[in-house]
Structure 1
Amino acid sequence: MKIVEFLRSDAVIASLSGQAAPAVLAELVRPLAASQKVDGQRLVETLLDREKLGSTGIGEGVAIPHGKVPGLPGLMASFGRSAGGVDFRAIDGKPTHLFFALFAPENSAGTHLKALARISRIFKNPAFREAIMKAPDAAEIYRLIEAEDAKY
């Protein structure tokens, strides 16, 4: 499974403007709601419900908010970067800069977990995270994700 199978280039946001978790999650959902014809409010609620269970901020400036949504045809994702960082209650207590939102169909536990593991794996690389932070635009961010994804 490759990340580019469920992350489209038009779902990459180079500059998130939200200052708090709910605003960031709403921004991450917008391109998916528009391109995938899904209810954006339902996606935001899915992510907020998941965050209530515990932060998806995995540390080192990365968060992978995720959830399952009935009726989705397959995995879908968006990516956003916050230059200033957001308090996302990450496990290391540091601000979160890189957000990878993932949505999966309701009955897709194995696929959902494989996707989460793959995202987590590529974002463990400090040089990759730094390159994403320095990328000039969304197109370059997508290219970097695509290139890093191809290594595994």
Structure 2
Amino acid sequence: MILQNAFKPATIKIGLESEYKDELLEELVDILAKDYPKDRIFPREEALRALRKREEKMSTGIYKGVAVPHATFESIDKLRGVIGLSKNGIDFESLDGNPVYLVFMLVSPPSQAEAHLEALRQIALLIKDHLLLENLMKATTPEKVFALIREFEDSLNP
């Protein structure tokens, strides 16, 4: 249930508007900010700083049009994520040089490192499932993306 807890339809966007990595990170962080509890201040600048710092080490644009930007920082309350789909592709400086069409962003506090790593592990497994990846990229609603994630995660823990 790690992925089902990190992502939800409100943090899934079909039709990302960004064309480049840095503006994509801002778009994803802004999606997350809109879903943050109203009684707290979302640490937008800290989130962006942590994600950019992680990207400076090595691009999280991996392969097959997928990127998994992720970071940990103190002022976030728990593991949270955003999923985004782009029709046109995003120049993410990916390791394979190809544009990114599907993005899984994760942020968490250092105290939830184990959950963060488990979420990354599950995303890696998900990416290896060619049919699931294709279905995610064809999804037209956040609810469909979430349903596919839920089915996948449920299949890991029958």
Report the TM range for the smaller structure's normalisation: over 0.9
CA deviation after TM superposition for structure 1 residue 2, in Å: 2.9
1:31 aligns with 2:35: no
Task: Give the TM-score normalised by structure 1.
Answer: 0.92
Structure 1 match to 2:112 = 108
Cα distance between partner residues in 2 of 1:67 and 1:107: 12
Give secondary structure in 2 for the equivalent of 1:56.
Answer: coil
Q: Which has the higher strand share?
A: 1
Cα distance between partner residues in 2 of 1:128 and 1:105: 29
Cα distance between partner residues in 1 of 2:146 and 2:152: 10
Q: Tell me which amino acid in the other structure corresponds to 2:15.
A: S
User: Could you list the per-position Cα deviations for residues 104-144 of structure 1 after superposition, in whole angstroms to 9, with x for gaps in the alignment?
Assistant: 10233322211111111112211111111211222211211
Q: Which has the higher helix share?
A: 2
Cα distance between partner residues in 1 of 2:105 and 2:133: 16
Give secondary structure in 2 for the equivalent of 1:144.
Answer: helix
Give the 5 Å matches for 1:25-64: 25-36=25-36, 37-64=41-68
Identity percentage of aligned residues: 30
Task: Give the TM-score normalised by structure 2.
Answer: 0.89
CA deviation after TM superposition for structure 1 residue 21, in Å: 0.4
Give the 5 Å matches for 1:72-111: 72-111=76-115
Equivalences, count: 152
Cα distance between partner residues in 2 of 1:2 and 1:113: 10
Cα distance between partner residues in 1 of 2:137 and 2:34: 26
Greater CA drift, 96-105 or 131-140:
131-140
Give secondary structure in 2 for the equivalent of 1:129.
Answer: helix
Q: Tell me which amino acid in the other structure corresponds to 2:53.
A: D
Greater CA drift, 89-98 or 49-58:
89-98
Structure 1 match to 2:14 = 14
CA deviation after TM superposition for structure 1 residue 95, in Å: 1.2
User: Could you list the per-position Cα deviations for residues 68-100 of structure 1 after superposition, in whole angstroms to 9, with x for gaps in the alignment?
Assistant: 010322100010011111121222221111100
Cα distance between partner residues in 1 of 2:9 and 2:140: 15
Structure 2 match to 1:2 = 2
User: What RMSD over aligned residues (CA atoms) do the two structures have, in Å?
Assistant: 1.4
Give secondary structure in 2 for the equivalent of 1:108.
Answer: helix
